[in-house]
Chain A
C-alpha cells in the first residue's frame, strides 16, 4: 500500500513536470517524515551527501569526459572514414557505415546520446545528401547508437552495477557478444531496406584505402584496447580505466593536433552537467531507498511475486514487460535508479544471475531509448535529421524489432551474454 501511494505521488509529480530527481526527493522526505516524524529531516543532508559519494560511479563523469574529449579531436571523422572503407562497398553503404562506426564509437563512449550526437551530426546530413530518406537516416542512426550502451564501456551498466551491487567488469564482458550480434543484425535489416529501395554503395572496396584509413584511425582503436584491456585484464578497475581513458583521449587529441581549448571547455561543462543530472537522481533515490529498506518493501514484493511463480523465465518475462513499459516514460538512468533496487530481491529470489539480469535490463532500456514519448536517443536523432518523430518511428519499428529479438535471445539464451563471463571469471 505504501509503495503504491509513493508510486502514485511520484507519477503525479513527474506528470506535472517536476524533475524526476526532485520528485523522488519530495516523495522520499514525505515518506520518511510520515514514518519517523519531523526529526528525521536532520538526516536529509547526510543521506543526500552520502548518496552522491558512491565511488564506483566516478567512472561516469570520466567516461563522459573521455568521450567528449575524443569527440572534439576529430575522431568521429576518422572512425567514419574507416567504417566507410570497411563496409561502404555493401549495398546501402552509408547505413552500414553508420552502424559500423557506432559499434566502434561504442567502445570509447558509454552513452548512446553521445554516440548519436557525435556520429549523427556527420552521417545524417551525408545520408540525406546521397538521397537516403531523412526518416531512414534518423532511424538507423538512432537504433545503432543504442548499441553503445550494450558494447562496453556502458554508463547504464555502471549505474546498474552500483544499484544491484554486482560486478561492473562482468557486466562489461557480458555485453560484448550481444552488442556485436545486435550490430550485425541491424546491418542485416539495413541491407534489406537497401535492396528494397535500391540504396547506393558508398565506395568500391580497396585494401590500400582500408589500410590508410585504419592507420589514420589507429590511435582511436588503441583507446578501447587501453580502457577495456586494462579493465578486463584486471590491471585497473572500471573507475581507473575511465581515468586512463581521459589521459589517453587527451594524448590522442594532442597527437592529432585538433584539440582546442574552446571545444574542450565546452566538453567538460557538458560532461559536468550530464554527470550532475544522473548523480542528483542517484542521491535523491537514496532518500527513497532509506524508506524502502526500513519498510522492507522490495523484500515483500519479492515474496508476493515469488509466491505466485518461482519460474525464473516467467519472472523474466514479467520484468521484461515492466521494463519495456517503464522505458516508454523514463530515461534509462532514471529507470535503473528507480526500479533496479526494488526488483533486485525478486530477481535473486528466483535465481536470476545479477549479471545476466543486468544485460536484460540494459537491452530493455536500449529499446526504451527508441520508443516515444520519452526516447532520448530517437529525439536527438530526429532533431539532427529535422525529421518528424512519428515518420522516423514508422521506419525505426523494424530496427526496434531487431532490438526486441536481441532482448528475447539474451533473456532466454543466457549463454549469449554469460558464456564469456563464465569462461573468464567463474
Chain B
C-alpha cells in the first residue's frame, strides 16, 4: 500500500505541474493575443494554439480530476445502499469508465497514424499528430489515475463509507 501511495502522490505531482504549465501558457497566449491585436499586429496562430491549449488543459486536467475523484457525478443513490450492493455497482460503474477511456486511447493511437503529415493551419511546422496526441495520452493517464484510486474507493464502498464530496462542479 505505501508503494501505491507513493506512486499516486508522484503521479499527482507530475499532473499538477503539467496543469500549472498549461494554465499559465493559456493565460499568456490570450494576453499576448489581446496585446498584439491592440497594437495592430494580430498573431495569426493565436486562436488555433489557444484552442489547442484548452484541449490539453481538458485532458491532462481530467486525469488529475480523476485522481482526486472530482468529476461531476451523482453518488447519492449508491452511497445510500448496503455495502455489498455498493461494491457491485462500483464495479459496474468502473467497468464503463475503463472501457470508455481504453477505447478512447486505442482509437486515439489509430488516428495518430492516419493524420500522418498533416500540420496546423497557422503553424505549418507543427504536426497535427502532436496536438492530437493529447487524446491517447490523456486517455491513458485517466486510466492510470482511475486504477491508482480504485483500491481506496473499493475499500470505502466495502466499509459503506461516503465518497469524498469533491464533486461540487465549477459553477
Contact = CB atoms under 8 A, between A and B. Distances in A.
Interface in B66-108: 68, 70-78, 89-90, 92-93, 96-97, 99-101, 103-104, 107-108
Contacts of B19: 268-269, 272-273, 276
- Secondary structure dominating the interface of A: helix
Contact of A276 (B33, B64, B132, B165): B64
A223 to B, nearest CB: 15
Contacts of B77: 15-17
Interface of B: 16, 19-20, 22-24, 26-27, 30-31, 33-34, 37, 47, 50-52, 54-55, 57-62, 64-65, 68, 70-78, 89-90, 92-93, 96-97, 99-101, 103-104, 107-108, 110-111, 114, 132, 134-136, 163, 165, 167-171
Given A15-B77, A281-B72, A276 B57 contact: yes
B62 A276 contact: yes
Contacts of A44: 103-104, 107-108
Given A20-B74, A273-B61, A329-B74, A13 B171 contact: no
A52 B54 contact: yes
Contacts of A319: none
20 contacts: A17-B77, A17-B163, A20-B71, A29-B100, A45-B104, A45-B111, A53-B52, A61-B23, A61-B54, A62-B26, A156-B171, A240-B30, A244-B34, A273-B70, A275-B23, A276-B61, A277-B71, A331-B72, A373-B76, A380-B168
A170 to B, nearest CB: 19
Contact of B57 (A242, A243, A275): A275
Contacts of B70: 273, 277
Q: Which of A15, A265, A329 has the most CB of B within 10 A?
A: A15
Contacts of B23: 61, 65, 268, 271-272, 275
B171 A110 contact: yes
Given A52-B58, A379-B165, 17 more contacts: A17-B93, A19-B71, A20-B73, A22-B100, A25-B104, A45-B108, A53-B55, A58-B26, A113-B169, A243-B27, A243-B31, A268-B19, A272-B23, A279-B61, A283-B55, A283-B58, A379-B168
A48 interface: yes
